Structure 1
Amino acid sequence: MADVAGVEQRWTAYLRRGPHGMLAAGAVLSLATADPVGMTTAERYTALVLTGAAVVLQLWFGRWSRDRPPAPSAAGTRYYFARWALGFALSWCNPFFAFYAAAGYLGPDRLLRGRALKAGPVATAVVVAGSQAGGMPLRGPSAWLLFGGLLCVHLALLAVFGQLAAREEERNRLQTATIAELERTNAALRRALDENAALHTQLLARAREAGVADERRRLAAEIHDTLAQDLTGIIAQLQVVANTPDPGRARAHVLRATDLARHSLGEARRSVHNLAPVALADAGLPEALRKTVGEWGERTGVRAEFTVTGTAEQLHGEVAATLLRIVQEALSNTARHADAARAGVTLSFLGEEVILDIRDDGRGFDRAATGERTGTGGFGLPGMSARAERIAGSLTVESEPGLGTAVCARVPLVRHD
């Protein structure tokens, strides 16, 4: 954009000052060649008057165009042809004044438009060719023949340079349009960046809010899956103690209640520090699930089995904790609602996926009738599903009245870092 502005400034400077220099050059050469050319006294006085008129014309144009950019206009057209007329008359007095007339070759498109833009350079070519042919008036056929040849050469040059000028003008126009488009694009990009920055700030704020809400839900599910279940187990053990007259049996249930209380205390401490479940602290997921299933079966009296298929791998802590919690919740639902005789848990490592199946032969339920709720305050199946989805997994449930229940969780295999 700066180059285009520089070109326009140079053209403005030429249109104001260039003709002054060309008039001065023509006047000096005409004065020096007055005798060889054979200028009469009348021609000399006429040239002096016309030179003064040309100076006045140039001063007027310089003042008029001082605060105006060079652009075609009616005043510019009048100035151009007035200058041409003075140049024609001066070259009639002395051919060397054609220097002033030749000023019409440069920058006509910044003064003329329409038909005048074509007529102006042709008229200038007539004056220059006539001066080169010996000056006006032409004398003899040879002078006219020379004038015709020179005029044809000038017109051919005008056509060639006109084409070049048109191409350059088109190139400048395209460059200007491209720069303007780039400026508009940059402005739009700046606006988009500002909008993106504002949206990014809003997204960060919403992400923080969503993170807080998600953490609250996670902690609620954590308390439900650990402390609430263990407290339920403690209450059940203490109820047995209260209702049995057998001291040995009562002591066994008290010990179980004590173990559950210690387990709950450990889970509470771990939850506060946002660590993995206690069962995973010293063992991998398969061992933690085997221990959990065994203790659950012993506590509930349900025959429970745990199986691992595929090549077991060390899972990321969040993945392992999620699968353990899903098993704990599913087994808790089985103990409370299924009235099952057998239950089984299978952990399968299949390529880049881990599949966890929990099934029982209990009474089952009608999912359509229950709305996929299990009566656990909203943290049953919905809680397990939310846990699986949090680590980009999924959870499906199959159950029918009298045919038991099967829960299947599928999650990506994310290895321990």
Structure 2
Amino acid sequence: MTDTTAVDERWAVFHRWGPYGLLAVGTLVSWSAADAVGMTTAERRASGALVAAAVVLQLVWNRAARTRPDPSAAGSCYYAVRWAIGFALTWMNPLFAFYAVAGYFGAQHLLPRRLVGAGLFATAVTLAGSQSGGLPPHGVMGWVLFGAILTVNSMLLALFAHFAALEEARGRARVETIAELERTNTALQQALDENAALHAQLLVQAREAGVADERRRLAAEIHDTLAQGLTGIIAQLQVVANTPDPDLAREHMDRATALARHSLGEARRSVHNLAPVALADDGLPGALEKTVTEWGERTGVRAAFTATGTAEPLHDEVAATLLRIAQEALSNAARHARAGRLGVTLSYMDDEVTLDIRDDGRGFDPLAVPARTRAGGFGLDGMRARAERIAGSLTVETEPGHGTAVSARVPLVRHD
């Protein structure tokens, strides 16, 4: 429940029950002081009848007001009759003005805007008569006092009305601001939901594109390594089958064996690179550390892995992309860098993850790198394409003789 709604509900309770309370106070005080103010027996009976009429009037109005919450002709009639009863009671006993005060609180709620001023002024007349000693005023001084008090009441009424108008305007502005904030929050939530859906769609597309790239890369590797190796093995075995010289046959058999071992190694490497199985067991930091350690042992290069920030479980496609980029960067370093040291750093930040691979190798001229091949997997273009598929980026800093730094930045998308 908002503050505005709570205040409106309190006012509704007052408009329903307040007139009863004011009437009770006015009646109690007036009848207690009836002798002091000189009320006659007829006035006492008349005031009792008017009090009963005021109670009946309020009962009828409370029932009718449920279907007339806004200013209406019925509300104007109720206000006028209630004012008339209050005026008549105050005429007979000034202390009945306690009941007449209700006119100040119901005017804007019951009367059309053009009649509010008249209703408030009529209430001020009743109260001024009570405050000046009773109605009607006695003598010239009585009328002067009545006029002075009425003037003061009217001025106070105008001042309070001005403050009320300012507060009402401020309240309307506050309500409009709250409504605008709610609309903005709704639009923002819709945008966030749409962004999440687009992000999920992007990851699905990246996965599909990655599968296609893996197929092209694997096909190229089979053509460039396994197929050529098998072709060489067949050629060597054909020589063995056709030569009568045992020494020559043994020599070609050894070559065929060496080619078979090399092809088996290439097949195992292709299978290992086909799916990042290490992610299922160790998560991305563990998989990268294991990959870097094995690469260093295999190449003889002093390699180190570092993770910074608070590690979080990443979406499968994000983790697989970073591991692939690291594997490709290490593969490139092994083939071309001739480095003595290499470092891999994985950094978790507020809304992104960065992967940095730096070596102290011979470096290269970035402008001289050949264009991406049809295999689409290895090389700088392949790594950059992987990062861009999941709304990331990849930068390379290098120059001949000063090593190479590869940096990938991707959004931190948590595991579903």
Counterpart in the other structure of 1:349: 363
1:123 aligns with 2:122: yes
In structure 2, distance between residues paired with 1:207 and 1:413:
25
**Aligned in 2, Cα 1:151/1:114: closer, same or farther, shift over 3 Å?**
same
- Residue 248 of structure 1 and its aligned partner are, at CA, apart by 7.5
Does the C-alpha gap of structure 1 residues 34 and 317 become closer, same or farther in structure 2, counting only changes over 3 Å? closer
Query: How far does residue 185 in structure 1 lie from its aligned partner after superposition?
Result: 3.7
Name the counterpart of 2:145.
146
77-86 or 197-206: which moved more? 197-206
Give, in whole Å, the separation in 1 of the partners of 2:378 and 2:217.
Answer: 9
Which string of whole-angstrom CA distances, capped at 9 and with x for unpartnered residues, describes residues 375-400 of structure 1?
A: xxxxx942368643221289xxxxxx
Report how far residue 188 of structure 1 moved: 3.8
Residue 230 of structure 1 contacts residue 260 of structure 1 at CA under 8 Å; is this kept in 2? yes
The one of 383, 387, 393 equivalent to 1:391 is: 383
The residue that corresponds to 1:289 in the other structure is none
Q: How far has the Cα of 1:116 moved from its partner?
A: 0.8
TM-score, normalization by structure 1: 0.66
Q: Which residue is equivalent to 1:37?
A: 37
Tell me the TM-score normalized by structure 2: 0.66
Q: CA, structure 1 residues 187+54, in 2 after alignment: closer, same or farther (shift >3 Å)?
A: same
Residues 382 and 280 of structure 1: CA distance in aligned 2, closer, same or farther (over 3 Å): farther
1:321 alignment partner in structure 2: 331
Distance (Å, rounded) in 1 between the aligned partners of 2:227 and 2:336: 15
CA RMSD of aligned residues (A): 3.9
Cα gap change, 1:279/1:207 in structure 2, threshold over 3 Å: closer, same or farther?
closer
Give the drift of 1:200: 4.4
Q: Which has the larger radius of gyration?
A: 1
Deviates more, 1:252-261 or 1:28-37: 252-261
Trace 1:228-267 onto structure 2 (pairs within 5 A). 228-234=227-233, 255-267=254-266
Q: 1:205-227, CA deviations, whole angstroms, 9 ceiling, x for partnerless residues? A: 43333333232222212212221
Letter in structure 2 aligned against 1:147: F
Q: CA deviation at 1:284?
A: 6.4
Aligned residues: 327
Q: Are 2:213 and 2:375, in contact at CA under 8 Å, matched by a contact in 1? A: no
Q: CA deviation at 1:140?
A: 1.4
Tell me whether 1:25 sits opposite 2:25 in the alignment.
yes
Q: Determine what percentage of the aligned residue pairs are the same residue.
A: 55
Per the TM alignment, residue 195 of structure 1 is displaced from its structure 2 partner at its CA by 4.0
Aligned to 1:227: 226
Give the drift of 1:236. 5.9
Q: How does 1:9-408 map to 2 (within 5 A)?
A: 9-65=9-65, 67-68=66-67, 70-234=69-233, 255-274=254-273, 282-283=298-299, 317-322=327-332, 348-349=362-363, 381-383=373-375, 387-392=379-384
Task: Identify if the C-alpha distance between structure 1 residues 85 and 386 changes in structure 2 by more than 3 Å, giving closer, same or farther.
Answer: same
Q: Deviations over 1:241-281 (max 9, x none)?
A: 899999887766654444323211211122222289x9997
Give the superposition deviation at 1:191. Answer: 4.0
- More deviation, 130-139/43-52: 43-52
**Which residue type is aligned with residue 363 of structure 2?**
F
| Structure-2 change in CA distance of 1:246 and 1:320 (3 Å) | farther
* Structure 2 alignment gaps of length 5 or more: 275-290, 302-324, 338-360, 387-402, 408-416
Distance 1:316 1:17, change over 3 A: closer
Preserved CA contact (<8 Å) 1:392 1:412: no
Distance 1:13 1:175, change over 3 A: same
Q: Aligned partners of 1:354 and 1:255: how far apart in 2?
A: 41
Q: Give the Cα separation in 2 of the matches to 1:357 and 1:90.
A: 103
The one-letter amino acid paired with 2:23 is: L
Q: Aligned-pair distance for 1:24?
A: 1.8
* Cα offset, 1:79, TM superposition: 1.0
Distance across 1 between alignment mates of 2:269 and 2:93? 110
Aligned-residue offset at 1:183: 3.4
Bigger CA drift: 74-83 or 124-133?
Answer: 74-83
* Secondary structure of the structure 2 residue equivalent to 1:282: helix
* Greater relative contact order (Cα < 8 A, sep 6+): 2
Change (3 A) 1:246 1:381: farther
Q: Amino acid of the residue matched to residue 126 of structure 2?
A: V
Q: Aligned partner of 2:384: which letter? A: A
Contact 2:236–2:253 (Cα < 8 Å) also in 1 = yes
Structure-2 change in CA distance of 1:125 and 1:261 (3 Å): same
Instruction: Give distance in 2, aligned partners of 1:176 and 1:357.
Output: 62
Aligned residue identity for 1:7? V
**Aligned to 1:223, what secondary structure does the other structure show?**
helix
AA paired with 1:214?
D
